[in-house]
Amino acid sequence: MTNTLITGANKGLGFATARRLIAAGHDVWIGARDPERGKIAAAELGARFVQLDVTDDASVEAAAASLRSELGHLDVLINNAGINAGGSVPGTDLTVDDFRTVFDVNVFGIVRVTHAFLPLLRAAPAPSVINVSSGLGSFHQMTETEWGEWVVPAYSPSKAAATMLAVSYAKALPGIRFNAVDPGWTPTDTNGNTGPQTVEEGTDAVVRLATLGPDTPTATFTDRNGTVPW
Ligand SMILES: NC(=O)c1ccc[n+]([C@@H]2O[C@H](COP(=O)([O-])OP(=O)(O)OC[C@H]3O[C@@H](n4cnc5c(N)ncnc54)[C@H](OP(=O)(O)O)[C@@H]3O)[C@@H](O)[C@H]2O)c1
């Protein structure tokens, strides 16, 4: 059985990813910061629930301890939790605190969770960590395509960092595969439920990577159509 943890999985893409991975035979733990929302989602999915606020060291440590007591190893960690606070206001109007709020979830959250779960990941035969990033963090996409019209001054840098974290960890830890994915623009609460894709399509890239097993590559950035230019 493949043991999989997905952060921020009580709704949106994380929830949909959990549903598909359970159907694919994974034993899925969904992390949620709010126990009520998490338990309701887990019951609906037939998943296991662990309280996990990616901005809170104690919560992340407790979640890691809880899974250690239940599981011998973790095969797949999906760093999915993310926020887009700050929105599209001009970057010059944002303060360090605004950036800190976004980075605490989208960047430091990945570091906190990955660090805490490394012992469980190292115990797996072919461990894999997937950072749910965004095309809005792609330098190519933001400078060479129509996406450049999108201005999300805290979110874009945070997602560029999320992608680069996957590359950096991949270099540091060759025994674990680290990759980043772009779900593509998908209707969820984070964007006021706008976007041209179905939620299912928004999970294609992450589900594909999470089900490759020993064939999982490392240090890649992909969406449902293939490689995303950095
Ligand atoms: N939808 C898109 O178009 C799109 C495109 C590219 C990338 N993404 C990325 O996809 C990921 C999932 O987003 P989504 O679209 O599914 O949005 P969503 O529906 O708003 O889901 C975000 C999830 O993250 C959780 N979360 C937020 N802060 C957290 C924290 N401190 N600790 C733990 N969980 C936390 C939320 O929990 P609460 O319910 O408690 O708030 C929620 O479960 C994000 O990383 C997002 O940046 C989305």
pLDDT (tens digit per residue) in 163-204: 999 999 999 999 999 999 999 999 999 999 999 999 999 999
Catalytic residue (one of 11, 159, 169, 171): 159
What does the pLDDT average to over 114-138?
Answer: 98
If pLDDT is split at 50, 70 and 90, which confidence band does 91 have? confident
How far away, in angstroms, is 101 Cα from ligand 1 center? 14
**What mean pLDDT do residues 126-148 have?**
96
For the chain, the average pLDDT equals: 96
Mean of pLDDT values over 75-81: 98
Of the pLDDT bands very low, low, confident and very high (cuts 50, 70, 90), residue 94 is confident
How many angstroms separate the alpha carbon of residue 75 from the centre of ligand 1?
Answer: 22
pLDDT confidence band for 151 (50 / 70 / 90): confident
Q: Which residues, at least 6 apart from 13, have a Cβ–Cβ distance to it below 8 Å?
A: 80, 132, 183, 186, 188, 199, 202, 203, 206
What pLDDT score was predicted for residue 149?
A: 86
pLDDT of residue 150: 84
Indicate the pLDDT class of residue 86, thresholds 50, 70 and 90: low
pLDDT above 70 (res 115): yes
The active-site residue out of 11, 155, 169, 171 is 155
Return the domain boundaries, the chain. Answer: 3-227
Model confidence over 26-69: pLDDT tens digits? 999 999 999 999 999 999 999 999 999 999 999 999 999 999 99
Q: What pLDDT does residue 58 have?
A: 98
Q: What is the mean pLDDT of residues 133-148?
A: 95
- With a cut of 80, say whether residue 71 has pLDDT above it: yes
Percent of residues, the chain, with pLDDT higher than 70: 99
If you measure from the C-alpha of residue 171 to the centroid of ligand 1, how many angstroms do you get, rounded to a whole number? 27
Positive or negative torsion for Cα 5, 8, 14, 19: positive
Q: Tell me whether residue 39 is one of the annotated catalytic residues.
A: no
Looking from the CA of 18 toward its CB, the CA atoms found within 13 Å total 29
What is the pLDDT averaged over residues 102-128? 98
Pocket residue to mutate for ligand 1, from 79, 163, 186, 188, most atoms within 8 A of Cβ: 188
Residue 83 Cα to ligand 1 midpoint, Å, equals: 6
Which among 5, 7, 13, 84 is the best mutation to test ligand 1's pocket, defined by most ligand atoms within 8 Å of the CB? 13
**What's the topology of domain 3-227?**
Rossmann fold (3.40.50)
Q: What is the distance in A from the centroid of ligand 1 to the CA of 154? A: 15
Q: Is 159 among the catalytic positions?
A: yes
Ligand 1: residues with CB < 6 A are: 7-8, 10-14, 33-34, 37, 52-55, 80-83, 105, 132, 134, 182-183, 185-186, 188-191, 195
